[in-house]
Each structure stands twice: as structure tokens, then as C-alpha cells.
Amino acid sequence: MRPEILFSLFTPVTTLTGVGPRIAKLIEKVAGGRLLDLIWHLPTGLIDRRVIPSIAEAMDGQIVTLTVTVGSHSKPHNRRQPYRVTCFDESGEISLVFFHAHTDYLQKTLPEGEVRVISGKVEFFNNTAQMNHPDHIVPMAEAESIKPVEAVFPLTAGLTLRTVGKAVNGALDQVPDLPEWINGPYLKARGWEAWKPSLLTAHQPESLLDLEPQTIARSRLAYDELLANQLALALVRKSMRRKPGRVTRGDGRMQQLVRESLPWPLTGAQDRSLEEVAQDMAAPHRMLRLLQGDVGSGKTIVAMLAMLNAVEEGRQAVLMAPTEILARQHFQSLGPLAEAAGIRMEVLTGRDKGKPREALLADLESGEVDILVGTHAVFQETVTFKDLAFAVIDEQHRFGVHQRLALSAKATEAPPDLLVMTATPIPRTLTLTAYGDMEVSRLDEKPPGRAPVDTRALPLERLDQVADSIRRAVSDGARVYWVCPLVEESDLVDLAAAEERYAHLSGMFGDRVGLIHGRLKGPQKDAVMADFSEGKLDVLVATTVIEVGVDVPEATVMVIEHAERFGLAQLHQLRGRIGRGNRPGTCLLLYNNPMGETAKARIEIMRETEDGFVIAEKDLELRGAGEVLGTKQSGLPAFHLADLSVHADLLAAARDDAKLILDLEPELDGKRGPALRILLYLFERDAAVSYLRSG
């Protein structure tokens, strides 16, 4: 149950004065629908109203606060013209301008002959000072109500700063005093105040420096959020450890047969990761491990050998892929290894129907199928295993937590050991916040025989030269990916760009050019990919659907058009599609001038390094965690207050603290326990509380 002290923060914004259904909808769009969301909606700028000149001293474009006497009202003859109110002080006159004015309101607010305090931006028109729609108009007695420094919040169309500011202040009035959950000595060493004063300070910036994430108040709030995150993950991990698993110790005979069939030995990183997996599988609790490997680092081999460890015990394993193309590709690439090990491997996707599907499901249930490779189709109720002991999930971010649970339900005895793989190297700080419930193995070496990729950047004006060099490469037997520009939020525009490039290249290469994009149906995509794989096509024009996992060793050239529009991680993933065989690859990044600083930096980094882990850290520096985490598919937690590109030291401290807390009071029932429970509920990590025996 949520603690009573927090009830007020979880009430809807409509409980605030002046927030009706229409305003509430707009606030929800920009911040969220509860008071809690408003208190996390921190200012991103400020308006300084401390300049108090006379009218004659006011400068063009300046925000000022003036004390004036109201002169005459001049009402327009038609609605299209503005309503003007002339005001004056001893130094001169200023004209207040209102469009779509309500006459009654203005005559009431600005009665002729009375003194008013106004604040807003001064502009000069025909050498006359004017102020369009002043931000504030109050009688002298209420001059104090105009804040000298006013916070600026992120807004959306239809929402004014005054409305949001009022709503935020209304929410802050409801904030309770909460007990302290931070360790006393650490709080003192950092010079932090209590939670509520820190929150109020963060909402009342006095200067631009107060908006920086490293300020004392904002650092304190970021630490609270990171501590909630790390404590929740530590509780989940502890609960996983408590869940009984199965001891799996294969005898190694099948793994040995596969190793002998490989063209070269495993890398040190592969051996190390396999050893870590084997130790987890041999332990009595359930394994939950993340295998992070750069593009082409050999994750699939590690997964195959790990699955064989379970098969050697007479059990079954499953490998889940996010798309049909990838599932069938895994099935093809692992087929020879399954053959070498003398086991039966099958593939199941949504496309498999009728009698063959029924026969496959019957064999799976009877235990005749040792390893199943599949897509989301495996989650269907009709799919049952005889004895599922090990599961591999490829490209974790495409699968939700509930799907992990659905997979666990397929096991008859204990939940299967789980190996989660990602080819998107994640910076260490993000690994801690997103996968803190898992152990992590990293493949940071490339297998031998991988040729380096030569990466070059060229302006788009040289497109014809690029096309000519592609012609030469194709005549030498190369296969080419040509990736078309990414257009935000519109796969239709992406498609138009791809079709145009396809038409252009078809003029050069005839029917040796293929086109693949997100709107093609699965079987059509597979057919085009197969033609490219088999060499029936020389050039494949694509939108970013080829980004993850597609494997054509003969492809040695990658052209990325409008490279400045792509993120660093995405460019790296795309480049990873080439140089997978023993021939060197060439990646051409075509950019359009003028480029922004960030785009320039991204292209520079791509030219400097092929190391995905280095690139991931640079990506975090360039974009900030908000964006790296906020990518639609990432499945990573988004933070309101913490910025991991700035607060990495706080994350490390929060992780250590969470570990210490659970060592000292595993059920959060000691001195800090009650306050820490409130912290978990405050940051909506409620699920973690359910892992406590006394929770």
C-alpha cells in the first residue's frame, strides 16, 4: 500500500485551483496528470524582472517592470486591429497593446487615472515604446506578487507560462515533509539540505547557474531518484537469487564437437563469458545474465554453446529473436553447429501454419526438438516444451518484461535460466540503471579474421562520384548496402526517399538492385534479403530495417545517405553490417552541409574508432542520457531528475548505498527502512516493495 503521507501527490492536477479539464489535458501532455508529475517538472529557464527603469530608460527588447499611471483607452474600429491603452510616468509614455481584447476586462484591470505596476517586454514601433500583452498588471498594493525572477517551464501549444507556473506552485504547496532516507554522514559530506527544501530551491532559480544539473539542490534530487532505481533493482536481483533454479552441468561433449567444427578458436572474451554462464547455470538459483557484445563479436556462438550445456543434461533450450528475418538467419547460421553436435534444432515463426506447424509442436512437446529458434510466436499458448531449462533473448530491448515472464511460464519445473543478448553496446552507467537486476558479461574482442572497415565522410554533392565508385566495386564482386535518410516520425517519407534512390540506382544496375523497407510484409522482406544474400542482387537499397543482426558476409560496402540525421549508435549498428567476412569493408557517410556541431562530432567519432563501447560512451556525452534512454524502443528507464551524463558519480554512490542498505536491513525494517519505503513509492518503484517479505 502506498504510504498515506504521499496520497496528496498522487491526486490529479484537476484538484488544483484554476485547472479544469482543458488545461489538465495540456498539462498532462507536457508533464503528466498528477501533482507528482508537476513537482518533477523543473524549470529550464528564467525571466529576470529585476530591471525597474522609468519609461524613458527602458530599452528595446528588454524585459522590465514599470510603475505607470493609466491614461486613455483607444478601442479599435474593427476586431482585427489591436486595442491600445496609453500609460505614462514623469519621463514619458508607453502604449500597451492587446489583440482580440475583452473590453470589459481591460477597463476593469486598467482604470483610467489609476497607478498600475506592469511587467513585460518593451518594443519600439515608430519610435514609440510599447508592450504587447504585458505578463503582469497589478495595483501598487499587489506589486509584491510579481516575482523578481520567474521560472520558465517546458510548455506545449495552448499552455501559458503563467498557467503552468501557478499549477506547479499549487502542487508544491501540497508537498509533505518526508523523513530523511539518505545516510546522515553522506548527506553532510555533500552539503545537501532535506528533500523538501531541495525541491523548493530547484523550483526557484535566481540565476542561469541554478538551472545546471550539478547544483546542490538538483544533485540531491538526482541522487534520490538514482537511489530509488538502484534499491529497486537490488531488491529484484535479491528476489531472483531467492527463486529456486535448477543446477545444470553439461558434460561438455556436444560443446567440444561444436568448438572443433569452428574455423578458429574462441576469443578470450567469449571463453570468459561462457565460464561465467556455466557458473551461473551450475548454481542452485536462477540465472539472469546480460551478454553485451559489439557488432560481430560472436555473441551467437556463446549463446549456442550455453544452450548445449542444457541439452547435454537432456533438457531443451529456446533462442528468441525479435524479427522473422533474424530468427531464420540464426536458424541458418546455427544449423551446421547443431548438426556437428548431433542435435535437432527447429525454427518457429508466425508464418508457420497448418500441418507442418502441428507436427513441429508435437515434437517439441515430446522432447524430440532440442533447441527451438523463434519469434514472438513462441509465446502462444499452443507452444509447449517437454523440459525447457535455458532461454536466450536476442536484442532484449525489443522484448518487454512481461514477455520474459511468459517465457518463464513455459518451463515445467523451475523458471529457465535466462541469457539476454544485446548488440547495442550500452555505456556502463546505463547498464547499471537499466540492467542492474542482471549480471553482465561483455564481449570486448573481435574474432580473428575480421577485416577492419575503412570509414570515409563525403559531402552529398559528390553523389555521382560515389555512384561511379559503387559501379567499380560491384564489377569487382562486392555487394553494397545503400541506406536512405532517416526522416523523423514518418516512414512514408523514408519510403519515398528510398524509392527515389532505388529508381536512380536501377537505372545504373538494372534488376540487380533490391529495395527493402519497413512497410514490406515479412515474406517479401525475407525474399529480398535472400536474393541479396545469395548474390542475385548486387545493391540493396534500404531504410533502417537492416540495422540489427542482418548477416551477409559478402557485403563489403555501406553507403549511408544524410549520415548527419542518424544517431551515433545507429550509424555504428549500420556499419556493423559490413566487414563480416574476410574482405575489408568500406563505409561512406554522405552528409549535407551545413552540419551542426553534434553531427560533425558524430561523424568524426565514426571515422576515429570501430569500438562500440567507446562509441556508446561518446554517444552518452553528446546526447545526454535523456535521449539515449528515451529512444522509443530502448525499454530503458527514463529519469525525471537524474542526468547520467552528469551524475555518473552519484549513480555509483547510489549503487553502493543500495548494497549496504540490503546488507544491513534486508527487509527495510531497520532505522532507515520506513523512509526508504517512502522513497520507493515516491519514485513509483512500488513493484520492488512487493519483493520484501514484510512488504
Tens-digit pLDDT profile for residues 191-233: 999 999 999 999 999 998 999 999 999 999 999 999 999 998 8
The count of C-alpha atoms lying within 13 angstroms of the C-alpha of 493, restricted to the half-sphere facing its C-beta, is 6
Q: Is 442 or 226 the better-scoring residue by pLDDT? A: 226
Residues 346-374: what's their mean pLDDT? 92
- Pairing mode of beta strands 585-591, 453-459: parallel
Give the pLDDT confidence score for residue 635 in this predicted structure. Answer: 42
Backbone phi and psi for residue 41, each to the nearest 5 degrees, phi listed first = -85, 80
- pLDDT classification of 181: cutoffs 50, 70, 90: very high
C-alpha cell at 688: 520492488
Three-state SS for 214-240 is: CCHHHHHHHHHHHHHHHHHHHHHHHHH
Do β-strands 63-74 and 115-121 pair in parallel, antiparallel, or remain unpaired? antiparallel
Measured distance CA(267)–CA(283) in Å, rounded: 25
Maximum mean pLDDT: which of 140-149, 174-183, 491-500: 174-183
Q: Which residue, chain included where needed, has cell 530551491? A: 201
Number of Cβ atoms within 10 Å of the Cβ of 608: 12
Q: Is the pTM of this model over 0.75?
A: no
**pLDDT over 80 at 52, yes or no:** yes
Q: Do domains 50-146 and 453-609 have the same CATH topology?
A: no
**Other C-beta atoms within 10 Å of 235: how many?**
26
668-671: list long-range contacts, CB under 8 Å, 24+ apart: 668/692, 668/694, 668/695, 669/694
**Of the candidates 77, 74, 79, 64, the residue with the CA atom closest to the CA atom of residue 95:** 74
Count the Cβ atoms, other than its own, within 10 Å of residue 583.
Answer: 15
Amino acid identity for residue 419 in this structure: L
All cell numbers assigned to 47? 525571466
Q: Please count the other Cβ atoms lying within 10 Å of the Cβ belonging to residue 205.
A: 23
> Are 590 and 561 in contact, with CB atoms under 8 Å apart?
yes
CATH for 50-146, options being 3.90.1150.10, 3.40.50.80, 2.40.50.140, 3.30.1520.10 = 2.40.50.140
Give the model's pLDDT for residue 630: 39
Give residue-wise pLDDT tens across range 99-114: 988 899 999 999 999 9
* Mean pLDDT across 337-366: 93
> How far is Cα 64 from Cα 121, in angstroms, rounded to an integer?
6
**What digits encode the pLDDT tens for the residues 28-37?**
999 999 999 9
Residue 476 amino acid letter: D
As a whole number, mean pLDDT of residues 451-478 equals 90
Q: What DSSP assignment string belongs to 558-585? A: EEETTGGGS-HHHHHHHHTTSS-SSS-E
Kindly report which listed range (298-302, 628-632, 659-663) carries the lowest average pLDDT score.
628-632
Cell of 553: 558476409
pLDDT at 49: 94
Give the pLDDT of residue 70.
96
Whether the CB-CB separation of 599 and 564 falls below 8 Å is answered with yes
Q: What is the mean pLDDT of the chain?
A: 88
> Is 648 a residue whose pLDDT tops 90?
no
Spatial distance between the Cα atoms of 181 and 73, rounded to a whole number of angstroms? 58
The DSSP secondary-structure symbol of 215 reads S
Model confidence at 239: pLDDT above 80? no
Contact 231, 683 (CB under 8 A): no
pLDDT exceeds cutoff 90 at 380: no
Q: Is the bond preceding residue 637 a cis peptide, omega within 30 degrees? A: no
**Residue pLDDT, tens place only, 582-626:** 778 999 999 988 888 888 999 999 999 888 888 888 887 776 554
| Topology of the domain covering 453-609 | Rossmann fold (3.40.50)
Q: 395 pLDDT exceeds 90?
A: no
- Evaluate whether 169 touches 41 at the Cβ level (below 8 Å): no
What are 276-297's pLDDT values in tens digits?
999 999 998 888 898 988 777 8
Looking at the DSSP assignment, which residues form a beta bridge with residue 84?
74, 97
Contact 576, 423 (CB under 8 A): yes
For 538-585, how does the pLDDT look when each residue is reduced to its tens digit (9 = 90+)? Answer: 999 988 666 444 678 788 999 999 999 888 888 888 898 887 777 789
Give the mean pLDDT of 230-239: 85
What pLDDT shows up at residue 633? Answer: 35
pLDDT for the residue 629: 42
Q: Break the chain into its structural domains and give their ranges.
A: 4-45+170-211, 50-146, 253-443, 453-609
Cell match 547443431: residue? 338
Selecting from 3.90.1200.10, 3.40.50.300, 3.30.70.1400, 3.30.9.10, what CATH number does the domain 253-443 have?
Answer: 3.40.50.300
Percent of the chain with pLDDT over 70: 93
Q: How far is CA 657 from the centre of its chain?
A: 25
**What pLDDT, in 10s, does the model give residues 114-146?**
999 999 999 999 889 999 999 999 999 999 989
